[in-house]
């Protein structure tokens, strides 16, 4: 099947497939390299990398159908290619994009996650004032300003446990079994 454009020269459907394949692959590479500039634009179901990938799948399937099944009419080859492209789009979106979006780790932490956690005083906490406590976890470490829950001074180097979070981090010395 061929199309005729303004100049009068016919364009074969295989040529269209090659152009779509080349352009979609080029745009995919460009988006991959410069995607941070367009962060957030068309994210979700219309993710640009996914759309360009789908166009590449449609074009590649169109080429394969026209080579493998030469007796098939070009329209049926296009229909088969579009169906395969839509199926690929849905599968890639559901099995790659969605899980990867949920797997992204966030660097934000809620202060309320500290309740019950054990830390170490790095700046002494006076009876009526603030000091600093260091917390470690699998995802990293952090310092927080803290006050004494019992209104007693807590020296530097003491292990403390977070009792509550209320207008700041309230800590009390932590004693393991047999340390009283």
pLDDT (0 to 100) of residue 106: 55
pLDDT at 170 over 80: yes
pLDDT (0 to 100) of residue 20: 92
Compute the distance between CA of residue 88 and CA of residue 108 in angstroms, rounded to an integer.
34
Q: What is the residue-averaged pLDDT of the chain?
A: 83
Q: Which residue has the higher pLDDT, 49 or 40?
A: 49
pLDDT at 52 over 70: yes
Angle 92-97-98 (CA atoms, 0-180°, nearest 5)? 115
Q: At what angle do helices 48-68 and 74-92 cross, to 10 degrees?
A: 140
Would you say the pTM of this structure is higher than 0.75?
no
Question: Which of 167, 166, 173 is CA-nearest to residue 133?
Answer: 173
pLDDT at 82 over 60: yes
> Which residue do the tokens 């016919």 mark?
10
pLDDT at 120 over 80: yes
- The mean per-residue pLDDT over the stretch 47-51 comes to 80
Compute the distance between CA of residue 156 and CA of residue 146 in angstroms, rounded to an integer.
12
Question: What residue ranges define each of the domains in the chain, with the CATH number in brackets?
Answer: 2-103 (no CATH), 111-173 (2.40.50.140)
- The mean per-residue pLDDT over the stretch 154-164 comes to 94
Of the pLDDT bands very low, low, confident and very high (cuts 50, 70, 90), residue 44 is low
Cα torsion angle, 17, 19, 21, 27, sign: negative
pLDDT at 164 over 80: yes
pLDDT (0 to 100) of residue 5: 60
Q: Which residue has the higher pLDDT, 131 or 30?
A: 131
């Amino acid at each position: 099947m061929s199309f005729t454009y303004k100049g009068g020269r016919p364009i074969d459907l295989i040529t269209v497939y090659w152009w779509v394949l080349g352009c979609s692959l080029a745009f995919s590479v460009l988006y991959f390299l410069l995607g941070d500039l367009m962060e957030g634009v068309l994210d979700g179901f219309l993710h640009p990398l996914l759309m360009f990938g789908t166009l590449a799948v449609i074009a590649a399937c169109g080429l394969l159908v026209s080579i493998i099944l030469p007796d098939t009419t070009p329209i049926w080859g296009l229909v088969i290619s579009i169906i395969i492209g839509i199926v690929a789009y849905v599968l890639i979106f559901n099995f790659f994009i969605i899980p990867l979006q949920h797997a992204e780790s966030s660097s934000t932490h809620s202060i309320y996650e500290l309740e019950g956690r054990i830390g170490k005083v790095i700046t002494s906490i006076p009876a009526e004032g603030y000091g600093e406590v260091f917390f470690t976890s699998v995802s990293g470490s952090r310092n927080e300003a803290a006050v004494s829950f019992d209104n007693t001074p807590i020296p530097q180097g003491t292990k403390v446990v977070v009792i509550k979070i209320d207008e700041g981090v309230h800590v009390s010395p932590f004693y393991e079994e047999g340390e009283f």
